[in-house]
C-alpha cells in the first residue's frame, strides 16, 4: 500500500498498511474524524500532496505531431516529385513542391492542435466530482481536490475517486475490473483484513477507479493521484480517443484510392508521352508531376478535423458534450430517441398538489418551493395537523427523506431529490420542519431510494423512544407491503381497490404518485435490512405531485417529429402519469402504453413487433431499456437512449448514441455514454441532432467544393498532354491554386450554419456513402466547367498571340476565380444561393473570398511571385475575362440546381 502523508510517519518508517488497520486507527493516523477535515487543513494538504489526478497519458510531442502531418500517402507523392524535380534541375518547381508540403503540414498542425484543444476543453467539463465531508458538512467538490484524510461518501454509480479505507458501508458492492480484471462485483465491509490479502480480497478498501454498482458507503481517503493503486499501475481509465469517425475513415480510404489512381494515371501519361509523343523523359516527368500535384487534395484531412471540432464546439454551446467523436455523425442519422421523463422532458420542479388520506382528497395550495399554501377539501381550508392520519403522513414524508430546503435571500431551494423536496415543502406548509427537534424523530438507519426497488425506508425512535419504520415509494410497491390503513376512526384493514382507484384517478391527471406508510416496529438487527421493511405497514396516504413538462421539450419533440424522428418516453413513473404527461408533450397520443411488467412477459420477437408502435413505456427498469434498444435496432432503427443510473450503462453502451444526464447522472452512466447533457434537457438532444446533421452536411459540402478544383486542374493537364499543348498551368502553379483554394476558401464551409430545412428532412440512411451517383456527377460536371473555362481562356489568349506566361497567369486566375464563385454555389447543395441569405448568409465565406483577392493580386503583380511562379501582370481587360470564366461556373452550377430540382429524382434528392 502506498504511504500515508509524509508528515504522519518518519522517513525510515514503513508506510501504514491501511487494510490491516481499524477505521479508528486510520482516522488517527491521518488526523481526521467523522466530521472530515477542516477546509484550511484540506487546502494545506492539497498543496502538500498535489491534486488527486493521474498523470495524463503521454501525448505525442509537438515535433512528433508535426512530423505525423507528413505521414500521408498524398504528401509522399508530392515529396517524391519534389526530390526528382530537384535532381532534374527544376529548382523552382522542387522548392515550390516542398514549400507546399510544408505549408500544408503546418496548417494541418495548427488546425489539428486547435481542434484537439477545443475537444480537450470540452472533455474537461466532464471532470468527475466527489461528495466529501468537511467541517462536518457535505460538499460536492472536484475529485481532483481530494486529499488524504478527506471523508468521502460513495453512492451507486460513482467511480471511486481515490483510495479509501471504508468506515461505514450499506450493502456496498464494487466492481474492480479496472484494477483486478475481475468483473464480478465485490461486496465490501469495514473489518480489517490480513496483511497479505491480495488487492481483490481487501474488502475494507475501495480503490480509485473502481465502480460502485450498488449501495452506499463512506471512507477515509488514504492515497490520492499517482499514489493510488491505479496510479501505481499507471493506467488511465478512459483512453483519449483520436480525431477519427467513420466518415473520416471513409475519406481516408478514398484518399488512398485516389493516390493509387493518380500514380497509375501519371505513370501511363509518362510512358505514353515518351513512346507516343516522343517527349524526353525529363519533360514527361514534369508533366506527370503537374498531374499528380493537380489531382491530390492535400488539404482534405485538416479540414475534416476542423469541421468535426467546430461541430463538437457548437454542440457544447447547446449543452451537449460529445464524449466520442463518431457520435457527431451518428446523431445526424438517429431515427428514434428514447428519453427519460423526469427532469429531461419535465422540469423536475415538483410540487405536491394532492393528498389522498383517510377517505378524503386534500388539495395542497401554493407554487414552487416556498412553504406557503393551504390544505383544503373541496375548497374549504382545513388544518392538516387536526387530521391525525394526514399529520402522520406529512411527518413520514418529511422524515423518510434525504433532501434539504434552503432559503437564499428569500428564494427557496431544494437540495437533493426534487420528489423528496416536494414532500419537505408540503410538510413545511403544515408547519413540520425537517430539522426541527420536535418533529425530527431521531433517525437510526435508512434504506435509500433506488429505482429498482422503488421505495425508501427509514428507522426512527420517536420522542418516547418507541421504534418506527417509515416508508415511501411507488403505490403498487407500498400497497403490497401494507395490511392495514389509517382512517379517521383508527386502523382498518386495507382496502386495496380504493387505493388503486384513487391512484389511477390521480395519475390520469398527470400527477406523479407516491404512497406513504408506517409501522411501529424495530428491525431484527440493529440495522435496517430488506427483510425488516417488506411487510406489516399501515397505509397512510397517496401523494400526487405535479412536474410539468418543459416548454422547450414540447417544441423539441415537435421538431423531432417533423425531422422524421420518433420520440419514445421511458419512465419509472406510473403508466397513467406517463400517459398524461406524454399527451402534453405529443408523445404516444392515441396509442397504447406498455409497462415494464408487460415488456418482461414478451419475448424478443414480440417486443420487436410492438417496439416501434408504442411510444410510452412506464414502470420500466434499466433491463427493459436494454431490450428495447435491441428490439429497435433489430428493426433497423438508429437509436439514441438516455439514462442516468449505473444500471442504465448497458443500454447506453448498446444504443447508437448513448446520452447521459450531466446533472443527475452517475459517473457510470456518463462513462458509458457518447454524449453528456450538461442541462439534462431533452431539447439539447434535439439541438445536437440538428448540429450532427449540419456537420455531416458541411463535410459533404466541403468535399463537393474541394474535389472539382483538383478534378478541373487534372483535366487541364490531361487535355494538354492529350492534345500536345504547352502546359496551361505548371506544377508550381497548380500547388499555389490548391493552397489558396482549400486552405483559405474551403475552410469557410466548416462554419456554415445548419440549413433552414435541416430538421424537416428524414434522417440520413445509415451507411450512406458519400460517393453517390449525384456526388460523382456534380464533381465531374464542375471539374469539366473549371477545365473548360481555364483552358479555353488559355487557348484563346495563345491564339491571340499573348505570351505563354500571360496565358498561364490568366488560366491560374481563372481557376481561382471559378473556385471563389463556386464557393458561393457550395453553400447549398441543391437550393439556390441567388438570394440575400445565399450570397451573404455566411460571413466566413465572404471573408475567405475577400482574403483570396489580395493573394491573387500578389501572385499576379508582385515581382517576387512573378519570379517564383513565372506569372505576369494582367491588364484590366484580362482581369475581366478571368472573372467572366469564374461567372460561367457560377451560372451553370446554379442552372444545374434548378434542373435537378425540377426532375422527379432531383426532387427526391432535394427533399432528402
Ligand atoms: P424517469 O425514469 O423518467 O426519470 P422517474 O424518475 O419517475 O422516471 P424513478 O425515479 O425510477 O423514475 O421513480 C419511480 C417511482 O418511484 C416514482 O414514480 C415514485 O413513485 C417512486 N419514487 C421516486 N422517487 C422516490 C423517492 N425518493 N423515494 C421513494 N419513492 C420514490
> How many angstroms is it from 499 CA to the middle of ligand 1?
19
**Nearest Cα residue to atom 9 of ligand 1:** 572
The grid coordinates listed for 907 are 426532387
Q: Using CA positions, which residue lies closest to atom 18 of ligand 1?
A: 573
Tell me the per-residue pLDDT of 542-567, one tens digit each, with 9 for 90 and over: 999 999 999 999 999 999 999 999 99
Q: Which residue CA neighbors atom 19 of ligand 1 most closely?
A: 474
Q: Is 639's pLDDT higher than 70?
A: yes
- Can you tell me which atom of ligand 1 is nearest the CA of 572? 12
Ligand 1 atom with the shortest distance to the CA of 451: 11
Element (H, E) at 413: strand 411-415
Question: Is 84 or 608 the better-scoring residue by pLDDT?
Answer: 608
Mean pLDDT for the stretch of residues 627-652? 92
Residue 65 in domain? no
Above pLDDT 70, what percent of the chain? Answer: 94
Beta carbons within 8 Å of 205's beta carbon, 6+ residues apart: 18, 19, 163, 164, 165, 166, 188
* Closest by CA position to 696, among listed 310, 207, 274, 161: 310
Angle at 770 between CA 769 and CA 774, to 5 degrees: 110
Residue 774 lies in a domain: yes
* Residue 747 shares a structural domain with residue 834: yes
Question: Is there a contact between 765 and 333 (Cβ–Cβ < 8 Å)?
Answer: yes
Residue nearest to atom 4 of ligand 1 (CA): 342
Q: Please state, in angstroms and rounded to a whole number, the distance separating the CA atoms of residues 118 and 313.
A: 7
Tell me: do 600 and 654 sit in the same domain: yes
pLDDT at 243 over 60: no
- Domain match, 642 and 508 both: no
Q: Do the domain assignments include residue 733?
A: yes
Query: Residue 161 half-sphere exposure, CB side, CA atoms within 13 Å?
Result: 31
Q: How remote is the CA of residue 343 from the centroid of ligand 1, in Å?
A: 11
Q: Does 515 share its domain with 375?
A: yes
- Known catalytic residues? 340
Question: What's the pLDDT tens digit per position in 306-325?
Answer: 888 888 888 989 999 988 87
Please tell me the distance between residue 400's alpha carbon and the centre of ligand 1 in angstroms.
Answer: 14
pLDDT at 236: 46
Report how far ligand 1's centroid is from the alpha carbon of 731 (Å). 69
Q: How confident is the model at residue 436 (pLDDT cuts 50, 70, 90)?
A: low
In the chain, the number of structural domains is 4
Q: pLDDT (tens digit, 9 = 90+) per residue, 350-368?
A: 999 999 999 999 999 987 8
C-alpha to C-alpha distance for 677 and 320, rounded to whole angstroms: 5
Final residue of a structural domain among 512, 546, 580: 546
What residues does ligand 1 touch, defined as CB less than 6 Å away? 340-342, 417, 419-420, 449, 451, 454-456, 472-474, 512-514, 571-574
Name the domain boundary from 502, 526, 546. 546
The residue with greater pLDDT, 769 or 200, is 200
Residues 3 and 500: their CA atoms lie apart, in Å, by: 59
User: What DSSP assignment string belongs to 108-146?
Assistant: HHHHHHHHHHHHHHHHHTT--EEEEEETTEEEEEEGGG-
Lowest mean pLDDT among 109-118, 169-178, 375-384: 109-118
CA–centroid distance, 454 to ligand 1, in Å, is 6
User: What band does 785 get if pLDDT is binned at 50, 70 and 90?
Assistant: very high
pLDDT confidence bin for 909, thresholds 50/70/90: low
Atom number, ligand 1, closest to the C-alpha of residue 454: 16
Of ligand 1's listed atoms, the one at least distance from the Cα of 400 is: 28
The protein residue whose alpha carbon is closest to atom 29 in ligand 1 is 473
Pairing of strands 455-461, 442-447: antiparallel
Local structure of residue 20 (DSSP, 8 states) = G
- The torsion angles phi and psi of 126, rounded to 5 degrees, stand at -100, 15
Tell me the torsion sign for CA atoms 831, 832, 836, 839. positive
CA of 585 to the centre of ligand 1 (A): 19
Enter the C-alpha cell of residue 416. 437533493
| pLDDT(612) > 70 | yes
Q: Hey, what's the cell of 296?
A: 491530390
Q: How far is CA 137 from the centre of its chain?
A: 33
Rounded (to 5) percent helix, strand, coil in the chain:
50, 15, 30
Angstrom distance (rounded) from CA 388 to CA 398: 15
Is the pLDDT assigned to residue 683 strictly greater than 90? yes
Burial (CB count within 10 angstroms: exposed 0-12, middle 13-18, buried 19+), residue 118: middle
SS3 assignment, position 153: strand
Query: CA-based Rg of the chain, rounded to a whole angstrom?
Result: 35
Q: How many CB atoms lie within 10 A of CB 613?
A: 11
User: Which residue's CA is the closest to the ligand 1 atom numbered 10?
Assistant: 451
Grid cell at residue 136: 462536518
User: Is 327 or 814 the better-scoring residue by pLDDT?
Assistant: 814
Which atom from ligand 1 is nearest to the alpha carbon of 577? 18
Structural domain for 772, as ranges:
273-296+695-911
Separation of alpha carbons 506 and 525, rounded Å: 38
Write the CA distances from 299 to 303, 590, 739, 744, 890, integer angstroms.
6, 53, 8, 10, 23
- Show the CA angle centred on residue 255, arms to residues 252 and 259, nearest 5°: 145
Q: Are residues 727 and 844 in the same domain?
A: yes
Pairing of strands 512-519, 593-595: unpaired
CA distances from 225 to 13, 117, 121, 176, 273 (A): 22, 23, 21, 18, 67
501/635 Cα distance (integer angstroms): 37
Both 571 and 673 in a single domain? yes
Question: How open is the CA angle 426-428-432, to the nearest 5 degrees?
Answer: 115
How far apart CA 379 and CA 560 sit, in angstroms, is 41
Exposure of 468 by Cβ count < 10 A (0-12 exposed, 13-18 middle, 19+ buried)?
buried
Q: What is the structure's pLDDT at 58?
A: 61
Residue 737 has pLDDT above 50, yes or no: yes
Closest residue CA from atom 20 of ligand 1 = 474
Q: What is the CATH number of the domain that holds 179?
A: 2.70.150.10
513 CA from centroid of ligand 1 (Å): 9
Burial letters 484-512, b for 16+ CB under 10 A, else e: bbbeeeeeeebeeeebeebbebbbeebbb
Whether residue 885 sits in one domain with residue 861: yes
Of 342, 417, 424, 454, the one to substitute when testing ligand 1's pocket (max ligand atoms within 8 A of C-beta) is 454
Cβ neighbours of 614 (radius 10 Å): 17
Helices then strands, each counted (H, E), the chain: 32, 28
Q: Which atom of ligand 1 is nearest to the CA of 512?
A: 18
| CA gap 660, 645 in Å, rounded | 9
- Give the model confidence (pLDDT) of 252-308 as tens digits: 788 788 878 888 988 888 898 888 878 888 878 877 877 887 777 777 777 777 888
pLDDT at 2 over 70: no
Whether 838 is in a domain gets the answer yes
Question: Is the pLDDT reported for residue 537 higher than 50?
Answer: yes
Asked whether residue 245 is assigned to any structural domain, the reply reads: no
- Shared domain check, 839 and 746: yes
466 CA to centre of ligand 1 in angstroms: 30
> What is the widest separation between alpha-carbon atoms in the chain?
115
Contact 517, 539 (CB under 8 A): yes
> Which atom of ligand 1 is closest in space to residue 475's alpha carbon?
20
The DSSP bridge pattern shows strands 380-382 and 404-408 to be: unpaired
The contacts of residue 2 (CB under 8 Å, 6+ apart) are 15, 163, 222, 223, 227, 228, 229, 231, 232
pTM recorded for the entire structure:
0.81
Q: From the CA of 303, how far away is ligand 1's center (Å)? A: 46
Which of ligand 1's atoms lies nearest the C-alpha of 417? 27
Average pLDDT over residues 426-441: 73
Rounded CA-CA distance 290/518 in Å is: 87
Distance 575 CA to ligand 1 centre (A): 12
Judgement on whether residues 606 and 717 belong to the same structural domain of the protein: no
Nearest CA to ligand 1 atom 26: 449
First vs last C-alpha separation in the chain = 61
* 252 domain residue, yes or no: no
Give the pLDDT confidence score for residue 435 in this predicted structure. Answer: 54
Mutate to test the pocket of ligand 1, among 349, 401, 573 (most ligand atoms within 8 A of CB): 573
Write the pLDDT tens digit of every residue in 587-604.
999 899 999 999 999 999
C-alpha cell recorded at residue 250 = 471513409
Query: Residue 6: pLDDT band by 50, 70, 90 thresholds?
Result: very low
The three-state (H, E, C) secondary structure of 729-768, written as one string? CCHHHHHHHHHHHHHHHHHHHHHCCCCHHHHHCCCCCCCC
- Chain length of the chain: 912
- Residue 606 domain-assigned? yes
Which cell numbers hold the place of 355? 393528498
Q: Which atom of ligand 1 is nearest to the CA of 346?
A: 3
Residue nearest ligand 1's atom 14 by CA: 572
Within 10 A of 382 (CB to CB), how many other CB atoms are there? 16
Question: Of the candidates 495, 490, 471, 491, which has an alpha carbon nearest to the alpha carbon of residue 481?
Answer: 471
Candidate of 157, 399, 451 to mutate for ligand 1, largest count of ligand atoms within 8 Å of Cβ: 451
Task: Using the mean position of ligand 1's atoms as its centre, give its distance from the Cα of residue 567 in Å.
Answer: 21
Which of 514, 543, 681, when mutated, tests ligand 1's pocket best, judged by the most ligand atoms within 8 Å of its CB? 514
Nearest-CA residue for atom 31 of ligand 1: 473
Please identify, among 687, 704, 735, the residue that sits at the C-terminal boundary of a domain: 687
Which sign, positive or negative, has the C-alpha torsion 749, 754, 756, 762? positive
Atom of ligand 1 nearest to the CA of 341: 3
At 4 the pLDDT is 45
Give the percent of the chain with pLDDT over 90: 47
Specify the 3-state DSSP secondary structure of 574: coil
Tell me how far the alpha carbon of residue 492 lies from the centroid of ligand 1, in angstroms: 28
In this structure, is residue 533 part of a structural domain? Answer: yes
Phi (first) and psi of residue 663, to 5 degrees:
-85, -55
- Mutate-to-test residue for ligand 1 from 452, 458, 473, 516, highest number of ligand atoms within 8 A of CB: 473
Q: Please state, in angstroms and rounded to a whole number, the distance separating the CA atoms of residues 909 and 777.
A: 13
| 795 close to 726: Cβ distance less than 8 angstroms | no
Closest Cα to atom 24 of ligand 1: 419
Residue 753's domain is classified under what CATH number? 1.20.1110.10
How far apart, in whole angstroms, are the C-alpha atoms of residue 455 and residue 871? 81
Position 97 scores a pLDDT of 81
What's the 906 CA to ligand 1 centre distance in angstroms? 50
Q: Tell me: do 489 and 560 sit in the same domain.
A: no
CA 400, CA 413: separation in Å to the nearest integer? 19
Which of 349, 399, 419 for mutating ligand 1's site (highest number of atoms within 8 Å of CB)?
419
- Cα angle 645, 209, 316; round to 5: 60
| Residue 667 to residue 358: CA distance in whole angstroms | 43
pLDDT tens track for 72-90: 777 788 888 888 888 888 8
Gap between the Cα atoms of 27 and 36, Å rounded: 10
Q: Is the pLDDT of residue 48 over 90?
A: yes
Reduce the DSSP state of residue 528 to 3 states and report it.
coil
Q: What CATH number does residue 467 fall under?
A: 3.40.1110.10
The answer on 614 and 502 residing in a single domain is no
**Chain centre to alpha carbon of residue 208:** 25
CATH number at residue 676: 3.40.50.1000
Which of 572, 621, 664 is the pocket-test mutation for ligand 1 (most atoms within 8 Å of CB)? 572
Q: Are 355 and 403 within one domain?
A: yes
Distances (CA, A) of 273 to 80, 93, 224, 733: 20, 20, 70, 21
Q: From atom 13 of ligand 1, which residue's Cα is the shortest distance away? A: 572
In this structure, which residue's CA is closest to atom 30 in ligand 1? 473
> Across the chain, what does the average pLDDT equal?
87
Q: What is the Å distance from ligand 1's center to 572 Cα?
A: 6
What pLDDT is stored for residue 390 in this prediction?
95
Determine the Cα–Cα distance for residues 428 and 364; give it in Å rounded to an integer.
12
pLDDT of 8 over the 70 cut:
no
Amino acid at each position: 500500500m502506498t504511504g500515508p502523508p509524509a508528515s504522519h510517519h518518519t522517513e525510515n518508517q514503513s508506510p501504514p498498511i491501511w487494510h490491516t488497520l481499524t477505521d479508528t486507527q486510520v482516522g488517527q493516523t491521518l488526523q481526521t474524524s467523522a466530521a472530515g477535515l477542516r477546509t484550511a487543513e484540506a487546502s494545506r494538504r492539497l498543496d502538500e500532496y498535489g491534486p488527486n489526478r493521474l498523470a495524463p497519458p503521454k501525448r505525442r510531442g509537438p515535433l512528433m505531431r508535426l512530423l505525423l502531418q507528413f505521414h500521408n500517402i498524398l504528401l509522399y507523392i508530392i515529396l517524391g516529385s519534389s526530390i526528382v524535380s530537384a535532381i532534374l534541375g527544376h529548382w523552382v518547381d522542387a522548392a515550390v513542391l516542398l514549400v507546399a508540403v510544408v505549408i500544408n503540414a503546418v496548417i494541418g498542425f495548427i488546425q489539428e492542435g486547435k481542434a484537439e484543444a477545443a475537444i480537450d476543453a470540452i472533455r474537461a467539463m466532464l471532470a468527475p466530482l466527489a461528495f466529501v465531508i468537511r467541517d462536518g458538512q457535505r460538499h460536492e467538490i472536484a475529485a481532483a481536490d481530494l486529499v488524504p484524510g478527506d471523508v468521502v461518501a460513495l453512492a451507486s454509480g460513482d467511480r471511486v475517486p481515490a483510495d479509501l479505507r471504508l468506515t461505514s458501508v450499506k450493502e456496498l458492492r464494487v466492481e474492480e475490473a479496472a484494477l483486478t480484471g475481475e468483473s464480478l462485483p465485490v461486496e465490501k465491509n469495514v473489518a480489517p483484513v490480513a496483511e497479505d490479502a491480495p488487492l481483490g480480497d481487501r474488502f475494507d478498501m475501495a480503490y480509485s477507479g473502481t465502480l460502485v454498482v450498488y449501495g452506499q458507503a463512506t471512507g477515509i481517503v488514504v492515497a490520492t493521484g499517482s499514489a493510488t493503486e491505479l496510479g501505481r499501475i499507471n493506467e488511465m481509465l478512459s483512453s483519449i480517443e483520436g480525431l477519427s469517425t467513420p466518415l473520416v475513415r471513409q475519406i481516408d480510404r478514398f484518399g488512398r484510392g485516389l493516390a493509387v489512381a493518380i500514380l497509375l494515371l501519371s505513370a501511363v501519361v509518362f510512358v505514353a508521352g515518351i513512346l507516343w509523343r516522343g517527349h524526353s523523359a525529363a519533360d514527361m516527368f514534369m508533366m506527370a508531376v503537374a498531374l499528380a500535384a493537380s489531382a491530390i487534395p492535400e488539404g482534405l484531412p485538416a479540414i475534416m478535423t476542423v469541421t468535426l471540432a467546430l461541430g463538437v464546439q457548437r454542440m457544447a454551446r447547446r449543452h451537449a458534450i460529445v464524449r466520442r467523436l463518431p457520435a457527431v455523425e451518428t446523431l445526424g442519422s438517429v431515427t428514434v430517441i428514447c428519453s427519460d421523463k423526469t427532469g429531461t422532458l419535465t422540469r423536475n420542479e415538483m410540487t405536491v398538489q394532492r393528498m389522498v388520506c383517510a377517505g378524503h382528497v386534500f388539495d395542497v395550495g401554493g407554487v414552487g418551493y416556498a412553504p406557503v399554501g393551504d390544505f383544503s377539501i373541496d375548497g374549504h381550508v382545513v388544518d392538516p395537523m387536526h387530521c391525525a392520519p394526514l399529520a402522520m403522513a406529512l411527518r413520514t414524508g418529511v422524515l423518510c427523506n434525504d433532501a434539504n430546503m434552503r432559503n437564499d435571500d428569500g428564494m427557496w431551494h431544494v437540495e437533493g431529490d426534487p420528489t423528496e423536496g416536494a414532500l419537505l415543502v408540503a410538510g413545511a406548509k403544515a408547519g413540520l420542519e425537517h430539522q426541527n427537534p420536535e418533529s425530527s424523530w431521531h433517525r437510526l438507519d435508512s434504506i435509500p431510494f433506488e429505482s429498482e426497488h422503488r421505495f425508501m425506508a427509514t428507522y426512527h425512535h420517536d420522542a418516547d423512544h418507541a421504534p418506527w419504520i417509515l416508508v415511501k415509494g411507488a403505490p403498487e410497491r407500498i400497497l403490497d407491503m401494507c395490511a392495514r390503513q389509517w382512517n379517521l376512526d383508527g386502523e382498518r384493514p386495507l382496502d386495496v381497490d380504493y387505493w388503486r382507484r384513487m391512484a389511477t384517478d390521480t395519475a390520469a391527471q398527470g400527477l406523479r404518485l407516491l404512497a406513504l406508510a408506517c409501522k411501529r416496529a424495530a428491525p431484527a438487527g440493529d440495522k435496517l435490512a430488506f427483510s425488516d421493511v417488506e411487510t406489516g405497514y399501515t397505509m397512510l396516504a397517496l401523494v400526487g405531485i405535479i412536474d410539468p413538462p418543459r416548454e422547450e421539450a414540447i417544441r423539441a419533440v415537435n421538431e423531432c417529429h417533423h425531422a422524421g424522428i420518433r420520440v419514445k418516453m421511458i419512465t419509472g413513473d406510473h403508466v397513467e402519469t406517463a400517459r398524461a404527461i406524454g399527451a402534453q408533450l405529443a408523445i404516444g397520443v392515441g396509442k397504447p402504453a406498455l409497462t415494464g411488467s408487460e415488456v418482461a412477459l414478451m419475448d424478443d420477437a414480440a417486443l420487436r413487433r410492438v417496439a416501434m408502435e408504442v411510444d410510452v413505456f412506464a414502470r420500466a427498469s434499466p433491463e427493459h431499456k436494454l431490450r428495447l434498444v435491441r428490439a429497435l435496432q433489430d428493426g433497423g432503427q438508429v437509436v439514441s437512449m438516455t439514462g442516468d443510473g449505473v444500471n442504465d450503462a448497458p443500454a447506453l453502451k448498446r444504443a447508437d448514441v448513448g446520452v447521459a444526464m450531466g446533472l443527475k447522472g452517475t459517473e457510470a452512466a456518463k462513462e458509458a455514454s457518447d454524449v453528456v447533457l450538461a442541462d439534462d434537457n431533452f431539447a439539447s438532444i434535439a439541438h445536437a441532432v440538428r448540429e450532427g446533421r449540419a456537420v455531416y452536411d458541411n463535410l459533404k459540402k466541403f468535399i463537393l467544393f474541394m474535389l472539382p478544383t483538383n478534378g478541373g486542374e487534372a483535366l487541364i493537364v490531361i487535355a494538354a498532354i492529350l492534345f500536345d499543348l504547352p502546359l496551361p498551368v505548371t506544377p508550381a502553379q497548380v500547388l499555389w491554386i490548391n493552397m489558396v483554394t482549400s486552405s483559405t476558401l474551403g475552410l469557410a464551409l466548416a462554419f456554415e450554419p445548419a440549413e433552414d430545412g435541416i430538421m424537416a428532412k428524414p434522417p440520413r440512411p445509415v451507411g450512406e456513402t458519400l460517393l453517390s451517383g449525384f456526388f460523382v456527377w456534380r464533381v465531374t460536371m464542375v471539374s469539366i466547367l473549371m477545365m473548360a473555362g481555364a483552358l479555353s481562356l488559355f487557348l484563346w489568349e495563345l491564339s491571340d498571340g499573348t505570351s505563354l506566361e500571360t496565358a498561364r497567369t490568366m488560366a491560374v486566375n481563372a481557376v481561382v476565380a471559378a473556385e471563389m464563385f463556386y464557393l458561393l454555389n457550395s453553400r447549398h447543395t441543391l437550393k439556390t444561393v441567388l438570394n440575400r441569405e445565399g450570397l451573404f448568409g455566411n460571413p466566413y465565406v465572404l471573408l475567405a473570398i475577400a482574403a483570396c483577392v489580395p493573394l491573387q493580386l500578389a501572385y499576379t503583380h508582385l515581382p517576387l511571385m512573378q519570379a517564383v511562379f513565372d506569372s505576369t501582370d494582367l491588364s484590366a481587360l484580362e482581369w475581366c475575362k478571368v472573372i467572366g470564366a469564374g461567372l460561367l461556373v457560377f451560372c451553370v452550377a446554379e442552372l444545374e440546381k434548378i434542373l435537378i430540382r425540377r426532375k422527379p429524382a432531383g426532387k427526391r434528392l432535394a427533399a432528402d
